Amino acid sequence: MRTIKINYLIIAIIAINTLAACKKSFVDLTPQGQFLSEFYYKDKDQAFAALVAVYDPLRKNSGGFENMLALMNSGSDDHYAGGGGATDGTQLQAFSNYTMTSNLMAASYWNDPYQGIARANLLLQKLPKTVMDETLKARFAGEAKALRAHYYFNLVRMFKNVPLILEPLTNDNMFNVDQAKPEDVYAQIEKDLTEAITVLPATINVATDGGRLTKGAAEAILGKVYLYEKKNTQAAQQLADVNGATPGGTSAYGYKLLTNFSDLWVPSNKFNSESIFEETHSAAGNSDWSFWGAGNDEGNTANVMVGPRSYEKIDASAPDLPSGWSFMVFTQDFYNFIKNDPRKDATLLDLNALQTAGKAKYIAGYMNTGYFLNKFLPRKVDVSKGGGASELNYRQNTYYIRLADTYLMEAEALGATGARAQALLDAVRARVGLPSVPVTLDAIKTERRAELAGEGHRWFDLVRWGDAPTVLAGRGFKKGTHEIFPIPFRETQGTKIQQNPNYQ
């Protein structure tokens, strides 16, 4: 198949018992088999299994080598791609120096969201005839719509000109799908999220449902979508619902900034009060090297990617790190920016300083600066004990959206002015002991860079602000081309999909 790589007639289904019977967390359920769609979706358990399959592509935020964190960090001014050499992770290197072509663009960044969309479309088509409680059915539909919206949001932000597919395709029309206008894609994203908000629960039991979407998560995604569309009034209203009446306090959804910034990066601290939309991983992953490159990687591969090569702890005061692959190293410019910020140590580990002090040693990778991404840098205690390859199955979750992010997005949507915007900015800074500064757009930009460093947001921020051509000029960014990615080459072969302008 040369186009969107999904079989719309067969869907990967998660083989499960009911949650009460298996006593497993929602995020511990793993793919076990396939079923023909015409024989499935008959009851609640089968519909739930199909819903878990819709969630499954979320793991690629940090899972697998071709993950969103690695790609988006590599193209920002805060990171180099790193790795073992100039050809290690070809697509990461190409994005880092803006030499990306359609042949180098990894197909998974296109295919993975469309896989989730296809599963959502099929579930939404089958749900009306499923025999189950109607309220629960509405919730399942809401989750599927919100996930579909999330997948389309990533696609339209990255590629701009994408097909808008809302029903299962057949073999007859699979190669005849046109690209939609970006505004039509955004309109559908808004519609899906607006409908989802009305049926999703305000809170969930994280012991059994941790990782599932809530009303607050859907509102946060919608607020972010509005901000990207420059619909600032709607964005501010939506994000205010998420953030609550008193910045720094507990919102109606139970969201609250963690007291300690560093606690955000403790692998066991999943689904904490600051988490709104979280990618989930389990310590029980069975992914091994036979999965590599097949899109089935289960664990947080970003963890091993950011680790130093051939690391050796010499002094007891040095961190006990497993060796890694040296990707996503911070730039010297970012170090100069963050070095006096209270968030530095939780964000960045200076291995050159440790090596100079004789406390540790490592082998420098490509474009090495010595500054490693500490938010996702694992310790040996975090190494997976599951049945798969330990380096491919780290259990740390990552955040798609967290409360500090929504605070800063709302402050921006408010025009970076007024008492509410000031309070939102102050709350993020006060959490790490920083004093108030006058709220301005520049102050919010600075705060987002410091607060959200290494979490995959920086490149998108620079593009939507219009700052990328200036900030990334030294890396090769060209205005009018590099605001979007090339569509993977094979998606344009034998289909109606046209390549994005200025790409081959």
- Domain architecture of the chain: domains with CATH: 302-383 (no CATH), 400-475 (1.25.40.900)
What distance, in Å, lies between the first and last C-alpha atoms of the chain? Answer: 21
What was the pLDDT predicted at 169?
Answer: 93
Whose CA is closest to 155, among 209, 217, 112, 122?
A: 112
What was the pLDDT predicted at 9?
Answer: 26
Angle between helices 108-126 and 44-55 (to 10 degrees): 160
What is the C-alpha separation between 146 and 153, in angstroms, rounded? 10
Using CB atoms within 10 Å of the CB of residue 135, give its burial: 0 to 12 exposed, 13 to 18 middle, 19+ buried.
exposed
Residue 167: CB partners within 8 Å, gap ≥ 6?
121, 125
Q: Are 129 and 41 in contact (CB under 8 A)?
A: yes
Task: Return the half-sphere exposure (C-beta side, CA atoms, 13 A cut-off) of residue 371.
Answer: 22
Parts of the chain with a pLDDT under 50? 1-25, 27-34
Q: Are 493 and 499 in contact (CB under 8 A)?
A: no
What was the pLDDT predicted at 143?
Answer: 99
What is the C-alpha separation between 124 and 122, in angstroms, rounded? 5
Greatest Cα pair distance in the chain: 67
What is the C-alpha separation between 494 and 497, in angstroms, rounded? 9
Whose CA is closest to 447, among 350, 332, 337?
A: 337
What is the C-alpha separation between 17 and 24, in angstroms, rounded? 9
What was the pLDDT predicted at 493?
Answer: 95
pTM of the model: 0.93
**pLDDT tens profile 468-497:** 999 999 999 999 999 999 999 999 999 999
Q: Are 309 and 325 in contact (CB under 8 A)?
A: yes
Query: In the chain, count of helices (H) and strands (E)?
Result: 19, 8
Can you tell me whether residue 493 is helix, strand or coil? coil
